[in-house]
């Protein structure tokens, strides 16, 4: 199966999703020059869509793990640790002020 995202795009998307996991967020990322949109829904499903107005192709994954597997990415434990540490530092700084 030919995937919509290239490796660099997939890594960037997954990195953003991992970072957002730590703050309760969900990703919506547009690669406008390639007419690609990636949406992570509250249900956890991840949709990758190429084209506009439903006139393209799409990939649908049940969750981040399925997206990760399809694109051959490693699990985001290191992202979670780094972002949690950074968020903790920012929170502590804000509290100290």
pLDDT band at residue 95 using 50, 70 and 90 as cut-offs: very low
Domain edges within the chain: 7-91
Whole-model pTM? 0.74
H or E element, residue 14: helix 7-21
Instruction: Determine the average pLDDT of the residues in 28-41.
Output: 93
Q: Indicate the average pLDDT of the chain.
A: 81
């Amino acid at each position: 199966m030919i995937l919509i995202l290239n490796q660099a795009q997939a890594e960037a998307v997954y990195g953003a999703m991992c970072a957002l996991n730590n703050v309760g967020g969900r990703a919506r990322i547009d690669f406008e020059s390639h007419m690609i949109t990636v949406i992570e829904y509250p249900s956890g499903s991840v949709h990758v869509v190429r084209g506009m107005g439903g006139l393209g192709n799409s990939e649908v994954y049940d969750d981040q793990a399925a997206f990760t597997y399809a694109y051959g990415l490693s699990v985001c434990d290191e992202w979670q640790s780094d972002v949690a540490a950074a968020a903790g530092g920012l929170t502590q700084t804000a509290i100290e002020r």
